[in-house]
Amino acid sequence: MTTTSAGLTAPFALARYRVGDTARVGLVAGERIRPLDESVLPRGLNGFLAAPDWERLGALATGEGGGWMPLADVTLTAPVEPRQVLQAGANYREHVIELVAAGLTQNTDRTPDEARAFAAKMMDDRAANGEPYFFIGLPACVVGDDVPLVLPAYSEVHDWELELAVVIGREAFQVSREDALDHVAGYTIVNDITTRDLVFRKDMKEIGTDWYRSKNAPGFLPTGPFLVPAPFVDGGNIDVRLDLNGETKQKGSTSDLLFGIAALIAGASETMPLLPGDLLLTGSPPGNGQHWKRFLRDGDVMTGTIEGLGTQVVRCVAP
């Protein structure tokens, strides 16, 4: 796969690219990339994100020399090294209505229209009176789109969920909504892969959801390819789109979030400090495989685009 900056509109972004068995941090500007050495990143990527100097990177992005290479000549991998991954559940109004309505029509006497109306009221009440809902992902699942997605053989209902992911900058602990965005270093793309038949426990329904088994197989968090600095992104109003084999399946806007980015950061940081480089996934718009009754298969290609953040291409393979 040829690496390009398609869909990346910022004047520059960060990326990580492969050098043998390791990954190196690079600065991307247009269709070229240059390595960033210890003079720029003396404390590594996460240390830089804790106190980012975007002006310095902007100057480097317009300069010559510095070991610039064609972007097409390198293999990008995940642009982040998170120590924690937090995921917001049920956070797109239309997505939740879609999923709840689909489930209710199979289990009650409600018509599809009645089920949608019921779900819409529930979401509006939650937005007005509720709180964000979080669960934890494993950082080991974070990979670049250079890694094929191996579909585990124990299920045939692996699903896609394209999401805007917040990359934490300065440590955030019990921050207010008013101050929350000061702790954002940037944004990236994550596809939160989900095995649908493992979401709910069958042996003891009272336990509820099993996010560990349903969302944490190897490679289930394809991330990147770019980390775009926060000053270049309006995270509250950008388009999110996923195509499967060239056919659009998901299409939405972060303006449909039940709880916006500031509310998510404030809510998540109430319990545990969010550390530089951590990922906070914001939820997924409607159009998952569960809606289409079409799940991932060997040979499928998912193309995920978030406005201004570039394009992620994930290839699915059988185990």
Residue 101: strand pairing partners = none
Q: Does 4 map to a domain?
A: no
- CATH value at residue 136: 3.90.850.10
Distance from C-alpha of 212 to C-alpha of 221, rounded to nearest angstrom: 13
Q: Are residues 23 and 158 in the same domain?
A: no
Choose the final residue of a domain: 51, 77, 103: 77
The yes-or-no verdict on residue 111 having pLDDT over 90 is no
Q: Are residues 73 and 120 in the same domain?
A: no
**Considering its fold, how many domains does the chain have in total?**
2
Q: Does 7 map to a domain?
A: no
How many degrees, rounded to 5, is the angle at CA 199 between CA 194 and CA 204? 165
Q: Strands of 85-89's sheet, edge to edge?
A: 133-137, 85-89, 279-281, 162-168, 184-191, 228-229
Model confidence over 278-292: pLDDT tens digits? 999 999 999 999 989
Query: Tokens standing for 30?
Result: 């247009």
Choose the final residue of a domain: 35, 50, 77: 77
Say if CB 245 and CB 315 are below 8 A apart: no
- Residue 304: what residue type? G
The yes-or-no verdict on residue 299 having pLDDT over 70 is yes
Model confidence over 45-57: pLDDT tens digits? 999 999 999 999 9
Residue 213: domain span = 85-317
The yes-or-no verdict on residue 305 having pLDDT over 80 is yes
Distance from C-alpha of 38 to C-alpha of 156, rounded to nearest angstrom: 46
Q: Are residues 148 and 35 in the same domain?
A: no
Q: Are residues 51 and 117 in the same domain?
A: no
| φ and ψ of 170, to 5 deg | -60, 140
Q: Does 2 map to a domain?
A: no
Q: Does 8 map to a domain?
A: no
| Number of neighbours of residue 202 by Cβ within 10 angstroms | 9
Model confidence, pTM: 0.93
